[in-house]
Amino acid sequence: MLGKTLGQVAYFDHGLSPVRTSLGVPPRDPSQALQKCRRNYKNSYWTNATTRLGGNVCRTLPPSLQAMQWTPHRAWSTFSNPWKAAIDLPDHAASQGGYRHMSLRFGEIPASLAPMELLLLADPSPSKVRSYLADSTCFAASLDGTVVGIGVVRPIGEGAHELMNIAVRPTRQKAGHGTALLEWIIEHYRRLGTGRLEVGTGSFGYQLAFYQRQGFRVTRIERDFFVEHYPEPIIEDGIRHMDMLRLTLSYSGDSG
126 three-class SS: helix
What's the pLDDT score for residue 140?
A: 96
Distance CA 199, CA 2 (A): 23
CATH class of 73-250: alpha beta
250 three-class SS: strand
Q: Which of 61, 53, 46 is nearest to 9 (CA)?
A: 61
User: Domain spans of the chain?
Assistant: 1-63, 73-250
What's the pLDDT score for residue 204?
A: 76
What's the pLDDT score for residue 102?
A: 55
Report yes or no: 246 and 200 within 8 Å, Cβ to Cβ. Answer: yes
222 three-class SS: strand
pTM of the model: 0.59
What's the pLDDT score for residue 230?
A: 79
What's the pLDDT score for residue 16?
A: 29
Ordered mean pLDDT values, 10 residues apiece, the chain (256 residues): 29 29 37 41 32 34 35 28 37 30 83 94 90 95 93 94 96 90 96 94 81 94 79 77 88 65
Determine the Cα angle at 118 with ends 115 and 123, to 5°.
120
